[in-house]
Amino acid sequence: MTVIVRDVRPGDPRDTEAFARIRGLALPYMLSTSESVAYDATHAHTDARFRLLVADQDGEPVGTAQVGLAYDSPQPGQGCLNVYVHPDRTGRGAGSLLVRAAEEHLAALGATRLFAWVLDEPANRTFAERRGYRASRSAHFLRLDLLDGTLPPLQDPPPGVELRKASDYADDPRALFTLDAETSNDEPGDIAHEFTDYESWLEETWRHPLFSPELTSVAVVDGRPAAFSAARTDGGTRYGTVMTGTGRAHRGRGLAKLAKNDSLHRARAAGFTEAFTGNDSGNGPMMAINRWFGYEICATEVRYVRELG
């Protein structure tokens, strides 16, 4: 059996479909489509030096990797790699070759610290630790059954609060960018980001093919977005919440819960049957909100770090 590692060809649907299929089998809790893979490969920020890699075994794609630099971090030299192999093709060398190719790429760019997400399973953790990675924190994937589950009833906004869709801001979404930047900077994490590039946000978030402005809900106070729940969909029956947050001046009023409930109800009405989200395991307030909605943990990932040099 011969395994080779190469770059994904974003203009080749066979490549992008294979990448999305393998990611979906290895990590079914995150949305990925052929279109989104092609978009990610061609629209990443230049400074990220982003690459999508695929491992071919005797000509058949069996593994994937996302590789790049944290270009917007004030601390230079931080790289990220996430490797996933087809569940039926593990233990045959594809993962090792993908990790090696990713590390060589990042090291050549001057990266000195590497970050990787690894599913919390013994074989995966052993794989990472044997290569010099150490665990730093964890995060959960959560699933909600929209078809047979029970959502909390819709609530009327309190006085002075209005619920809108992100699509209402299609002509000028800068106010949503400002709110997203403020809330994202307060999210738990191990890489600091300078969330200041509006054009990059438009390219990587607002125009992303998975992003749904129609299902993204915004709580508005005094005419300004105060809280939101950002939605993605796979074009089929799967819906995902990728960020829910409230501006600092409006926290403690239940506005994030209000926005997320509105988005979930509209997703169910639109025919989506599964809802996914993710939580840092240390983010107690958001975990409590998701339990209130009925989400259940379906998998856990561990963040691993390796120092180079």
Question: Over the stretch 27-37, which tens digit does the pLDDT of each residue have?
Answer: 999 999 999 99
- pLDDT-above-90 percentage for the chain: 90
- Tell me whether residue 270 is in a domain: yes
* pLDDT the model gives residue 17: 98
* pLDDT the model gives residue 242: 94
Q: With a cut of 90, say whether residue 160 has pLDDT above it.
A: yes
Statement to judge: residues 8 and 94 lie in one domain: yes
Statement to judge: residues 148 and 294 lie in one domain: yes
Neighbours of 43 (CB within 10 A): 15
- Tell me whether residue 137 is in a domain: no
pLDDT band of residue 127 (cuts 50, 70, 90) is very high
Q: With a cut of 90, say whether residue 193 has pLDDT above it.
A: no
- Tell me whether residue 288 is in a domain: yes
Question: Over the stretch 227-286, which tens digit does the pLDDT of each residue have?
Answer: 999 999 999 999 999 999 999 999 999 999 999 999 999 999 999 999 999 999 988 888
Are 256 and 179 in contact by the 8 Å Cβ rule? The answer is no
Q: With a cut of 90, say whether residue 185 has pLDDT above it.
A: no
Among 88, 111, 134, residue at a domain's last position: 111
- Tell me whether residue 82 is in a domain: yes
Statement to judge: residues 149 and 45 lie in one domain: no
**Quick one: DSSP state of residue 170?**
T
- Tell me whether residue 125 is in a domain: no
Return d(Cα 215, Cα 263) in angstroms, integer: 5
> How many domains does one find in the chain?
2
Structure tokens at 59: 């000509």
Statement to judge: residues 251 and 181 lie in one domain: yes
Question: Over the stretch 71-107, which tens digit does the pLDDT of each residue have?
Answer: 999 899 999 999 999 999 999 999 999 999 999 999 9
Residue 81 maps to which CATH number?
Answer: 3.40.630.30
Instruction: Enumerate residues 6+ apart whose C-beta is below 8 A from 133.
Output: 114, 116, 118, 304, 305, 306
Strand order in the sheet with 296-307: 3-7, 51-57, 60-69, 78-85, 113-119, 296-307, 134-145, 274-280, 238-246, 224-233, 217-221, 161-165
Statement to judge: residues 44 and 168 lie in one domain: no
**Domain of 22, in residue numbers:** 3-111
